[in-house]
Structure 1
Amino acid sequence: MTNDQEKEENRIFEALLEYIKETRGFDFTGYKRSTLKRRITRRMQSHNIDNFGGYLDYIEVNPEEFELLFNTILINVTKFFRDTDAWDYLQEQTLPKLLQEKDEQDQIRVWSSGCSSGQEAYSIAILLAEILGFDQFRQRVKIYATDVDEEALNQARSAKYEPKALKDIPEEQRQRYFEKVGNHYVFRSEVRRMVIFGRNDLVQNAPISRLDLLICRNTLMYFNAETQKNILARFHFALNENGALFLGKAEMLLSNSNLFRPLSLQHRIFTKVPKQKLSDRRLLFSPSGDEEAKSRVSDRVRLREAAFNTSPMAQVIVDANGYLVLANVSARSMFDIKRQDIGKLFRDLELSYRPLELRSLIDDVYRDRKSITISDVVQNQSDETQYLDVQITPLQENGNDNQWLGVSISFNDVTSYNQLQNKYQTSTQELETANEELQSTNEELETINEELQCTNQELETTNEELQSTNEELETMNEELESTNEEWRTMNEELRLRTDEVNQANSFLASILESFQTGVIIVDREFNIIRWNQDADELWGVRSDEVQNKSLLSLDIGLPVDQLIEPIRKCFQGEENHQTITVAAINRRGQSIQCRVTLQSLKGLEEEQSYGTIILMEELENQGEG
């Protein structure tokens, strides 16, 4: 295929995906193209279609093809406790920690995304019921299980499974959570009602929120990198602060470490990386009446505030509304800021105009959207003069130029520097030389740093390529599992049909042998397809010697040439039943009178004859030859 042909085929393929999205609401545009093309090509082969344009025409005319196509694309390969080691770790390590951090009455919310036919949703239900007990499980647990495949969801709601599907469940749990109904096992209703099934498209629909555990195993690997990133951002929003994300063995999140960090990379269990909130911007030294609010600040926020508070450089934070919200120890000591000053309007404080006019400078920073530095600001303290470099820096949220959080005002004490500068004017050249050497060293370090960054980027690219390859292999493995399951089903059906054919043949042979006369069955070409034992006894020829041979070619005592015309009339429907008597010689060489009865052998359609049954009976009281 030339480049132009390949481009045209890719264009038609994208048009096919867009048509599916517009007509049926399934958005596959975020799926990996290699996987999609393999799955769709499989459906095309079943209709002997060799290009995507022809298949697009076909589904436009045959809308019933959509359901078969979706079932092919959405590979529903799953089972109870798939990857047993990962589920064991979840039960023994992850779930106990999650439950320990919650009050005894708090609700536990779980989302099984891409649940297919429900095995993983019921697996987590079993684990939580085992840990909490039935009473606590029914009172506290809500499990939401979603998929885009309605057929798989209907199967999940029925909760009916074949015995082989439960092979990885211990016998004790099988008896506790399942009841046998006919040849199937059904998940018990008192546990099943805690699992809520519904349709959810990860690409288009909003996620379920306030989750303690999110299970999405071997689903992300079907999406391209950009779609994976969008879905993972929604997952990050959906999880509680200490919530866990349980992925499949092909999904490692190497390129999404800013959203999730591993609890167990081996078992693909992650927790979210929390984002800083505006409400976290609070001074560690808040008024005494705010102790309850302080206790709700996370350890991570307190750690950041402690680092800010112990910085040797004096620093204060003024929010966008003009209120003083933070001041570290150095700033409170240098400018005599009291605890009661936190939360007041900055313009009402002495610091706003002394040692320099800061209010107008803050307005300039907001207007120009860049930092301002004022050097050698004089601050008189007791009997000494202090020199400060004051820097005012705008604070933005997530790089949004239109969203200002406030400003940071830093006071760098450069008094010692000024004193040294005045004292060592004669050493300026030496300092310049040292500065040049330092600059040269910095440049060398910068060069080394850039080389390290380049190497790191190459490693990240390699890791992403390896992850993508691993996901592709896992996808192909699931496709093979699905195909093997289809072959096993077909083999089982073929075995049953073979048994039925064997039984029918045995039944037919039994009927033929039950006749007390010789029986020959011939097809329309006079070839013998049946020859019973009485015929052996009559003419001295075994059935295996005449099978599939022409009756007209046999050298036996029966005058077959006299039977040609009667048999032909049976074939043509002129006479369906005839009886004639012919002179013959049996296997012992005796001359006999043989009564021959011919009966047309009808097919499923009454007017069609595809053979003739010949009954041969030796008449008694005949002389010997």
Structure 2
Amino acid sequence: MGEPQDAGDNAALEELLGFIREARGFDFTGYKRSTLSRRIHKRMTDIGVGSYLDYQDLLEASADEFESLFNTILINVTSFFRDQEAWTLLQHEVVPELLAALAPDEEIRVWSAGCSSGEEPYSLAIMFAETLGLEECLSRVKIYATDVDEEALREARSGQYTPKSLELLSADLREKYFEQNGAQFSFRPDLRRRVIFGRHDITRDAPISRLDLLVCRNTLMYFNVEAQTQIVDRFHFAVRPSGFLFLGKAEMLLNDAERFEVVNMRQRVFRRRAGDTVLPYHPPPMKSRSGTGVEMHSVVRTRQLRDLVLDAGPTPSIALDSDGTVAVINSQARIQFGLTTTDIGRPFQDLEISYRPVELRSLIDQSTHERRTLRVNRAERRVGEHLQYFDILIQPLTGPNSLHIATTISFTDVTVAEQLKAEVKSIREDLETAYEELQSTNEELETTNEELQSSIEELETTNEELQSTNEELETTNEELQSGNEELETMNEEMRIRTDELDEARAFLEAVLTSIAAGVVVLDKDLKVRSWNRGAVDLWGLRADEVLEEPFFELDFGLPTDALLPVVQRCLETRKRSGPVAVEALNRIGRSITCDVFFSPFDRHNCGVVLMMEESRSDNPE
């Protein structure tokens, strides 16, 4: 089934893309049409759908098909330190310049856009830890890792990788930054907390700002020119002046020399030039208002009342401002989680509650970007020997201008409900088990009488069966003895045949070894099947270096290209030919004239036997 090409199919493709955008929020309209058509068409072929309209009907009927389609379009190909040469340049040349432009205690902000399953941001974390030292990296480096693929983000957040995924890492790095967990390896937890994962569409969502390094490798190539231009505008806004942009091998910024200067074109590393920042979006300015002293006093009292009500709330609550700094911790949160008022003003990620009982930072980031409330049910928290369960609600707050201004996190203690639910479930299971046991007992009693009656009849027939079995066993024993004698005879014949084959093989090897000339046997594919001692002495290549290798791709002193036509003619005509004199270099580098004889080898895959010896005129007596 070929790819759709006509105008009708193009219109159907656009309609399908519009449906995907409206139904699932994935906007692929900026992607290259050739790439989209090829990837969607591959998925249609896999499931046997013939047209875009039929495939749209399938998506409307089956929500699970969206996941398979997105996995086909968003090819998540990545690995740790992919393209080692580029990462070496980044660590030894780019990062030192980046650090030199910052104060010793200034935060380092990094964004991995299109992070796929997490290998790239974790590679960045390892690189900065190796450069700065682990302690300084934990206190200074913040890495944002985003993607539009939720399945890939779930895998990335887990930080779990197979041994095969870590093959490119040295044993030292693997031992230092990963812990074995069963059949998989887990990224070290303290460094994992410096990586914040979240869903982000680089074509639509606001970019992360004030970046020292932005890594977006082999992602732009999926978009058309217009979409790429918009994305680069956002990247220019996101990277601070003199910050760095690291792209993939398939991407360049040839038309953006005014905004980005080339650091290394081969490895696609660019530096943002100093200059005015052009916003890819224009947020409305904040308005202020003044009032009378009475009005201001009323406002202050209202705020105090609101703060008291929030602090006295029955459920633990924490509020963060737009920068992720703790703004409010109510009384219940302080009591429940051991927090104090001194924690207000600290980065939320520095608090234990940000990752225990559940990883909240990536969920907060996801809630902020998607602008929707997220819920975590039955989060388990262990306090000493006791278990607590919380339902956690993460709610982003927006101002009148629709900009994100804060995030509230509320914890509802459902421990009692969970305990009651567990007890009720246990009682129900006990009752169901008792009822099943009673039914089973009644059925067993009813069948016992029948079984006893039938047992008498079975015992009567057992004796006859045993007698018959004894006769069958005697017959089987005789058959086994006969079979054993036949096997012993066959074993003796096989041993004799093996000895004969070993003797023949040894004889043939001795013949080939005793021939002073170089003898090479090629199969019909012109691969080396035999390479005798004379060939080793003449050309200096051992047999284990050349066996099963294409003869005419070997690199030694004999110019094999001159022999190829003769070998092919010998294969076709099945006639001997030669000698052919060829100027060559022997194993010690001395120029010789080599005479080559060609003979067909008809008894094994129709090959050719080459016999090579130094011309007598070149060999002084």
Give the TM-score normalised by structure 2.
0.45
Give the TM-score normalised by structure 1.
0.44
Q: Which has the higher contact order (CA 8 A, sep 6+)?
A: 1
